[in-house]
Chains A and B, each alone.
Chain A
Amino acid sequence: MPLITIDNVKKSYGANQVLKGIRMDVEPGEVIAIIGKSGSGKSTLLRCINGLESIDEGAISVAGSHLGKTELELRNLRLKVGMIFQQFNLFPHLSVSRNVMISPMIVKGASEVTARALAMKNLARVGLAEKFDSFPDQLSGGQQQRVAIARALSMEPQALLCDEVTSALDPELVNEVLSVVRSLADEGMTLIMVTHEMRFAREVCDRVVFMHQGKVHEIGAPEEIFANPSTPELKQFLGMTTH
């Protein structure tokens, strides 16, 4: 049974329809890359999955929790699917450990001791145990993004959404974040990532989704998508980005 079901999702901003009936199922443990030009709707689709954007038509569910309009429905959905942003969005007034501990404590009611242990474990998992007491502005972009990953993991989600998580990073910092994402994939985390890192998509992802003008234009294993693009749009897109 699929972990994430996206069924005929449509969304418009005013007269501009950005999602034109998206269908997609994601199996547990699958790693999906969403690629496409800017404006193709890929980030919007990602943001719909955890209710950051509302949808006009269709349905989305993650592990049995449906995307609804009520606080309770959104909360249940967001307990199952975490998200990491391009701009990290760490809480600048809180230390690294507090960033990671806060949600388990106030949302799940974890004790200080439990949350601290969980934070330590997840910060170690992203290689930042020694930054436990630092503040976000004392860290590099790559380190901040890894803290953001640890923060998402501490809610113990069943899937993670990654929205261009390396796009705001200096080139030399990209790999440290990608290697953490790769380790999550290896451990069986379900990942949906909007990315411009084609090599990473090719090496790590199980399936690649090419979005074009608000639709899933092509979907398939990375070997097919990258080696044998069947539509001129994808050929053009790959031509634009691979050299």
Chain B
Amino acid sequence: MISFSLWDILRNLLLAGRWTIALSLATFVLGGMLGLLILFIRTSKSRALQNIARVYIEIFQGTPLLMQLFLVFFGVALFGIEVPAWLAAGLTLTLWSASYLAEIWRGCVEAIPRGQWEASSVLAMNYVQQMRYVILPQALRIAIPPTIGFSVQIIKGTAVTSIIGFVELSKAATVITNATFMPFTVYAAAGLFYFMLCWPLSKYSQFLERKYHAAHHH
């Protein structure tokens, strides 16, 4: 029997951890872009558009991420299209995170006083111009702490993708456990990696929240 050193375990977890980071970053960027689009639709003046965005948000917030993942992974395959695990993982996490980011940001947009909408309206700006030049720059300031806070949820959410065979930190931990028969050590190490990724972000988010509450800066 081959014996594994602790370093072997850590090294392999670290290598797989790159995929956790890559998937998290891709999700954050793509989910952010889609979330922004949904935010525009959700806060638009058209009642029909608002409802489309609301249904989207309710579906993705009202079902488990795991089910969404299965539906994307197996559902698309029904149409004869082979979806690689990384694509299903990225796509699902993007759709899922967009629904949360859109709602987080909607709260920030609605925190901007009505007078800002009115002042930009009477200066003949259209909706997109109001958002782009007046509302979002102000909403951004208050959106940063909760957005970074949600990025922690994304990192933890990537663990779910191990179930469809995407080899990130959690999947790697399972594979290594099967080879080493050292589940506690391996999962503890994997947990520590997640903690090292998430904890600084949580702290940073809390720091920003205090900072923005404390003083008004330009």
Interface residues of A (CB under 8 A from B): 50-52, 71, 74-75, 78-79, 82-83, 85, 87, 89-93, 102-103, 106-107, 135, 137, 148, 151-152, 155
Contact = CB atoms under 8 A, between A and B. Distances in A.
16 contacts: A52-B121, A74-B121, A78-B121, A78-B122, A82-B123, A85-B118, A89-B116, A90-B119, A92-B138, A93-B137, A93-B218, A103-B120, A106-B129, A106-B133, A137-B216, A155-B123
Contact of A93 (B115, B126, B127, B138): B138
Interface in B126-148: 126-127, 129, 133-134, 137-138, 141
B125 interface: yes
Contact of A155 (B124, B127, B141): B124
Interface residues of B, number: 21
A75 B122 CA distance: 8
Contact of B122 (A52, A102, A106): A52
B123 to A, nearest CB: 4
Q: Nearest 3 A-B pairs (CB), nearest first?
A: A89-B119, A103-B123, A89-B115
Contact of B124 (A90, A93, A107): A107
B47 to A, nearest CB: 13
B126 A71 contact: yes
A107 B119 contact: no
A79 B121 CA distance: 10
Given A93-B218, A102-B133, A107-B129, A78 B119 contact: no
B122 A107 contact: no
B134 A91 contact: yes
B123 A78 contact: yes
Given A85-B115, A89-B116, A93-B218, A50 B122 contact: yes
Residue from A50, A51, A103, A107 having most chain B Cβ neighbours under 10 A? A103
Nearest to A50: B122
A90 B123 CA distance: 12
A107 B137 contact: no
B124 A52 contact: no
Contact of A107 (B113, B118, B125, B216): B125
Contacts of A106: 125, 129, 133
A132 to B, nearest CB: 15
Given A85-B115, A89-B115, A79 B218 contact: no
Contacts of A83: 122
A74 B118 CA distance: 13
